Amino acid sequence: RPQGASVFMLSTKGASSTMARWLAESENKSDLIDDELDIADKQVRQIVFEMVHDAVLADSNLMGDKVLKQLRQVGKLHSRKIERANFAVLKSPDIPSILVETAFISNPNEERKLRSASYQNKLANAILQGIRGYAQERPLLGVELVETSATDQRHLVRRGDTLHGIAAHYNVSLDRLISTNGLNRQDPQLSVGARLRIPRDG
């Protein structure tokens, strides 16, 4: 009986068809705006898209490899290498995408393991660590990865919130709240929607 986890990414055939469809849709939208679309513009769009999509496929491969290595530590793998397929969920032209199949529920042994909360947590953590490993190697521009623990507290700033009020609510000192979040002591500003880190030691 089949068993083990698998990781899929978009096949090159699927990538080619995705690119063709995207370019066709892009051209159709442009035609609605301007019937006289310059041939050079088409060529530039295609070249740029190919460059972006090649990079996306490379990133998908890297992410899949990181996740696969983590899953190997949890249990058996159905395939030791990244599989390639044309699943619809993998066909975003500009976002690295992978599909993880954690097990075969047609296999009674694997179905039993999947019913275990402990095993589910191990699988979820393996996928998380794989994605984290990818993100550390390919950080997004302007995004800083921060190590946090399960005991960290965060406060979502809402309209009307004040630093004094937040500090009192969590029973922490105002100075610690300001310093923990790197705010300007002279003129600390709060932005609605921001997440403040609440110091655990007060």
Q: Is the pLDDT of residue 35 over 60?
A: no
Q: What is the dihedral of CA 128, 101, 70, 107, to 10 degrees?
A: 130
Does residue 71 share a domain with residue 11? yes
Average pLDDT over all residues of the chain:
78
Does residue 128 share a domain with residue 28? yes
Does residue 96 share a domain with residue 187? no
| Inside any domain, residue 104 | yes
Contacts of 8 (CB under 8 A, 6+ apart): 64, 82, 83, 84, 85, 87, 90, 98, 99, 100, 101
Q: Which pLDDT tens digit goes with each residue over 45-60?
A: 777 777 777 888 889 9
Q: Is the pTM of this model over 0.85?
A: no
Q: What are the b/e assignments for 88-125, b being 16+ CB within 10 Å? A: eebbebeebbbbbebbbeeeeebeebeeeeebeebbee
Instruction: Put residue 144 in one of left, alpha, beta given phi > 0 → left and psi -120 to 50 → alpha.
Output: beta
Q: Which of 41-50, 121-130, 143-152, 155-164 has the lowest mean pLDDT?
A: 143-152
Does residue 122 share a domain with residue 179? no
Does residue 172 share a domain with residue 87? no
Q: Which pLDDT tens digit goes with each residue over 153-199?
A: 888 888 888 888 898 888 888 888 888 888 887 777 888 888 888 88
Does residue 113 share a domain with residue 13? yes
Q: How confident is the model at residue 202 (pLDDT cuts 50, 70, 90)?
A: low
C-alpha angle with apex 93: 53 to 128, nearest 5 degrees? 95
For residue 177, what is the domain's CATH number? 3.10.350.10
Does residue 115 share a domain with residue 15? yes
| pLDDT, average across residues 12-38 | 53
In angstroms, the CA 74 to CA 71 distance is 5
Domain of residue 48 covers 6-137
